[in-house]
Amino acid sequence: AASSVAAGALGAEPKSNTDKLLDALSRADQTKNQQWLRQLRLEYDHLIAPKIPTLEKSISHTLFFIIFPCLAVSAILFYLVDNPMIGDSNTSWSWLVLFLGVRQMVIFEFARVGEIFWIEILALRSSFFNMVVGPYLALAVIQSRGWPYICIFWPVLNFCFLYGNHEFAKHWLFWQDMLDIFNEV
């Protein structure tokens, strides 16, 4: 009663019980959101952030020591040596170098990123994964860490990205017209 008198004396309308309840729920919801954001930040700091330097190092080594040299060799073969063909096939040496040195390495890195996400972050450090898939499947996924995971999911990703007779399977950059090396059949 005193607060409604004070509010009335200041010219504001007194708050009803519904307004008070909505204010309390709003404050509780904001507190819950802040706690959730703090928990999310904590999860990121403990689960994902420690893996980033290793992942950056792996990707930079793959880029500078495999992908960029293969791009250079492929460009030399395509532009300077007139794109020689392999025997009587329809495949050129430049395409083969791009396929093995660039496309396969990109897919390999996708498989490594998947391993870090599914095994290192979800399976090993999250209780949610164990609840969703069950303890036996979670243990099987954890046991596949390393080369078993790569040997399973690298071919699966190859099938997803490279299989078929469509343009994307032949050349990933088929849609652009600037560099013929990336869209020549």
Which pLDDT score is estimated for 109? 93
Q: Which two tokens stand for residue 154?
A: 């690298």
- Check residue 180 and report its DSSP letter: G
Q: Which residue's structure tokens are 């689960």?
A: 47
Distances (CA, A) of 42 to 46, 56, 130: 6, 21, 20
Mark 146-157 as b/e (b = at least 16 C-beta within 10 Å). Answer: eeebbeebbeeb
CB 87 within 8 A of CB 129: no
Which pLDDT score is estimated for 185? 43
Which pLDDT score is estimated for 172? 79
- Check residue 51 and report its DSSP letter: G
The C-alpha atoms of residue 30 and residue 155 are separated, in whole angstroms, by 46
For each of the chain's 185 residues, which pLDDT tens digit applies?
455 555 555 555 667 767 766 676 677 667 777 887 887 788 788 878 888 898 899 899 999 999 999 999 999 999 999 889 998 888 889 989 999 999 999 999 999 999 988 898 888 887 788 888 998 998 999 999 999 999 999 999 999 988 888 787 777 777 777 878 777 64
Please list, in sequence order, all residues whose beta carbon lies within 8 angstroms of the beta carbon of residue 94, skipping any fewer than 6 positions away: 74, 75, 77, 78, 83, 181
Which pLDDT score is estimated for 24? 67
Q: What is the pTM of this model?
A: 0.71
